[in-house]
Structure formats: structure tokens, C-alpha cells
Amino acid sequence: MLKTEPAPGFDLVDDHREKELAAGEVRVEVGAVSVCGTDRETYEYGPAVRDLGLRLPVVTGHECAGTVVETAADVTTLRIGDRVAVETHVACGDCFQCRRDNAHNCLRMDLLGLTVDGAFAERVVLPASTCFRLPDELTLEAAALLEPAGSAMHAVQRSGLDLTGAHVLVSGAGPIGLAALQIARAKGATVLVVEPNPHRSAMAVALGGTTVAPGDGLTERVRELTGAAEGVDLVLECSGALPALEAGLEVTRREGTVVSVGLTNRPLTLNATRHLISRGLTLKGSFGRHIWDSWTELTGLVAAGSVDLSRLVSHRMELEDVETAIDLLTGDACKVVLYPQGVPDQLRATAETLSAR
């Protein structure tokens, strides 16, 4: 699935020439790839992906997992047949940030499906350094969701808080927010969720969250639910809506923490005295996944059954249905997973049931 023009649309081609392996690279047969808001922005040629450095032409798609089918001669960390998930922030390994264990924020970063060819394809060539070997307990479908769920894992890690007995508010019950809800509960927190969409709000309740209505009355309701603390210990803002981030600063208890995860291009007006000084709030941003701490901890939670990423899947489709998948993102869909090798027979009935909802 190629993005060739600076205009809306993708091109489905069946004669795209596969890249030869360079040193340090592997070829992966894509078993499952999920569709996200960045893919929709790429399809629409939106400003967010232009700001991220979209290079044309490019094979799109990035949230993927598959099986190694070829390795360069110098690759020793992976073997043919290994099942892997893929870190989509392709780091240089040598810049200031990479040498300080911040490869997720590499100064010369490539982005899978935006600046280098991605995974809306039957096979993809990747640096072996971006591949995370999977335990037997994870399906390729669940593994394809480690990338977006890993952003939630990283945000929880960035908070630096022990969540045992804590109150956490998740703002936005999209896929990352629903993953954050599960992770926080797995770590011992009581989780409040703010989500205006009734379908996604119901999903949050089904996963153990307590929904709180946005808008007027939010702060008072949170104070009622958190007792003497008069606010939550941690806000994970996953929606990218600026008013939600502003509200998050209001519902956090004194000396609490707010982690901003959802992307927004709008400026935040911050009262430094009220929010940061007199109330002692900590405001952090979180970008991508810490390599490989976020992956390792999240995979452990999924393998143990404490986090169920399959609960995020609303549709399963063939790769050629990508435009339909992108359209679904504007409705009540959660995670749409594409299968470049075809939807497996054991999942086909489930896929038809989900798609009929």
C-alpha cells in the first residue's frame, strides 16, 4: 500500500520491488498490522504527518508483527522463523539521545511507514535492532498492538509513580487510553475514565474503569471519588484534546502528576504559580516507547493475562480493505487489524461478527 502523491489516497500495487537486505537488516513476513490515526493522517496527507517528515513515495503502515524470513549475513540476534513485533521509531544508535538510553527520541530518527517503507505489505525490510522477539504466549495480532499499547506503558513508566492503591484518571478511551486503563489497573490503581463517546465509554466500563462525565462538574465529581486526596494521583491524557489536558491539571491532587500522551498542535496556557508552584504538580510528556523497557514490561503483563489487547480489536480485515479500515476510525471502531496474508480461518468468523457490529 503506497503513498505516492501529496494528496488524499493510497495506491494498492502488486508489483512493488522488494528491497535487498543491507547489513544489519532482516525481512519480515507481516502477519498482522493495525491501523491508527497516523495512517488516517497519511491517507489524507494531513499536516501532522507532513510535520513528521513524510517522504514520498513510501509504503505506509507501522503497527505490526510477523515472522523473520531472511536475515543479513551479519545479523546474530535473530533467526529465520523468529516471531517479532516492531519498534517503529528507527533510531540511529549514535546520537546524543541514543547514547543516553533515549533511542525513542533519537535526534536522527526515521519513522516506519512515514520516512521509510512500512508494513501495509506482505513483507517489510527492517533493521534487526527494531525487532522485539515474542514469547510463545502472544499471538501476532496481540503483538501488533504492542506498539500503540507500549505508548501507554511508557506514559505510566514516565510518571515514576507506584500505582498500588492510587487513583488514576485516563482522559480519552481510544486504543491507547484503553491500554492505559488496563495497565494502571494491573498495577493496582483505581481508574477513572473521561470519554464523551458512548461506545468507547462503555468499553472502558467493560475493562474495569469508572467513567466520569466531562465538562462542568468534572472536578467536583473527581474530588468526591478520591476522598481526602481531593484529586487523582495521576492523569494520563491520551485524547490529544487541549481542553482535556487543561481539565487534567485541575483534577490532579496537590503534588500529583500529569502525563501528556495524545498529540495536539495547539498551545497550552499554563498558570505556573497555580499549577506548578503552589500545587506542586509535575507535568511530563511521553513520546513513543522506551526501548526496550516499555516492551518488556508490557509483554510480561500481556503474557500473564493482566492486560488483554484482544479486547481492543473491533474489526479484522484483509490488507486491501485498508481504505474501509481508515473510514471506520471516524466511527465507533477501536483497533482495526489487517492481515496481509489473509485473515486466519480461526479468526474469520470473529472478524465477520465484529465487522457486523
Instruction: Looking at the structure, tell me whether residues 172 and 201 fall in a common domain.
Output: yes
Listed residue (163, 217, 171, 223) closest to 192, CA to CA: 171
CA distance 273 to 267: 18
Q: What pLDDT, on a 0 to 100 scale, did the predictor assign at position 33?
A: 98
Q: Is 57 helix (H, G, I), strand (E, B) or coil?
A: coil
CA distance 357 to 348: 15
Q: What is the pLDDT of residue 353?
A: 52
Which residues touch 56 (CB under 8 Å, ≥6 apart)? 3, 4, 5, 6
Domain of 340? 2-134+308-355
Q: Are residues 195 and 278 in the same domain?
A: yes
Whether residues 182 and 78 share a domain: the answer is no
Angle (deg, nearest 10), helices 198-206 and 175-186: 20
Clarify whether residues 7 and 115 are in a common domain: yes
The answer to whether position 183 is within a domain reads: yes
**Domain at 236, CATH number:** 3.40.50.720
Looking at the structure of the chain, the number of domains it has is 2
Strand-pair category, 131-133 with 83-86: antiparallel
pLDDT band at 347 (very low <50, low <70, confident <90, very high): confident
Shared domain for 114 and 208, answered yes or no, is no
Residues 236 and 157 in one domain: yes
Report the alpha-carbon distance of residue 57 to residue 55 in Å, rounded.
Answer: 6
Mean pLDDT of the residues in the chain = 95
CB-CB contact of 236 with 259 (8 Å): yes
pTM, rounded to two decimals? 0.94
For residue 350, the model assigns a pLDDT of 60
Same-domain check for residues 89 and 13: yes
Cα 264 from chain centroid (whole Å) = 15
If asked whether residues 128 and 214 sit together in one domain, one would say: no
- Return d(Cα 349, Cα 325) in angstroms, integer: 18
User: Given this model, what pLDDT does residue 331 score?
Assistant: 83
89 and 201 inside one domain: no
The pLDDT tens digits of the residues spanning 90-108 come to 999 999 999 999 999 999 9
pLDDT at 357 over 80: no
Domain-embedded: residue 67: yes
* Residue where a domain stops, chosen among 253, 285, 317: 285
Asked if 10 and 118 sit in the same domain, the reply is yes
Distance, in Å, from the CA atom of 4 to the CA atom of 18, rounded to the nearest integer, reads 16
Residue 351 pLDDT level (bands cut at 50, 70, 90): low
Q: Quick one: which of 69, 234, 89, 56 has its CA closest to 162?
A: 234
- The percent of residues above 90 in pLDDT, for the chain, comes to 91
Helical packing angle, 293-303 and 146-159, nearest 10°: 110
Flag whether 182 is in a domain.
yes
| pLDDT tens column, 158-185 | 999 999 999 999 999 999 999 999 999 9
Write the CA distances from 352 to 31, 299, 337, 343, integer angstroms. 19, 28, 13, 10
Check whether residue 264 and residue 321 sit in a common domain: no
- 158 neighbors 286 (Cβ within 8 angstroms): yes
Q: Are residues 52 and 162 in the same domain?
A: no
Would you say 195 and 169 are in contact if contact means Cβ atoms under 8 Å apart? no
CATH number at residue 62: 3.90.180.10
The verdict on residue 212 lying in a domain is yes
Q: For the segment 258-285, what is each residue's pLDDT rounded down to a tens digit?
A: 999 998 878 998 999 999 999 999 999 9
Orientation of helix 146-159 relative to helix 175-186, angle to 10°? 50
Give per-residue pLDDT as tens, 191-225.
999 999 999 999 999 999 999 999 999 999 999 99
